[in-house]
Amino acid sequence: MLRRLLIVVCPLFVGACAVPLPLQLASWAADGLSYLMTSKSLTDHGLSAALGQDCAVHRAVTEGAICREDEDSSGTVLASSKDVPETSDTPK
């Protein structure tokens, strides 16, 4: 009786961890694009932002430590005024 109950209940716990296939494929695509552009996955970027360091999970195998001090302590720059060309409409 207990064995039958376990056979029925255990897949319910494991199923809660699964993500629908389209969402999983989108996650893999986003991670792949992020890795191609920055050599870091989305998880690595999240860790870096949360800890304020330069983190990459693959470093656990290659270097031993996942995070290291950020070489440039300026933080993450999403946009800069240097990226925008000046026009006559741009306020100074």
Say yes or no to pLDDT of 84 above 90. Answer: no
Is residue 18 in some structural domain?
Answer: no
Q: Give the C-alpha separation, 60 to 57, whole Å.
A: 6
Helix (H, G, I), strand (E, B) or coil at 68: strand
Is residue 36 in some structural domain?
Answer: no
**pLDDT band of 45, cuts 50, 70, 90:** very high
Count: domains in the chain: 1
Say yes or no to pLDDT of 13 above 80. Answer: no
Is residue 56 in some structural domain?
Answer: yes
pLDDT at residue 81 in the model: 60
Instruction: Answer with the residue of higher pLDDT: 38 or 91.
Output: 38
Q: Give the C-alpha separation, 41 to 27, whole Å.
A: 10
**In which domain, by residue range, is 63 found?**
41-71
Say yes or no to pLDDT of 26 above 70. Answer: yes
pLDDT at residue 21 in the model: 87
Is residue 66 in some structural domain?
Answer: yes
pTM: 0.56
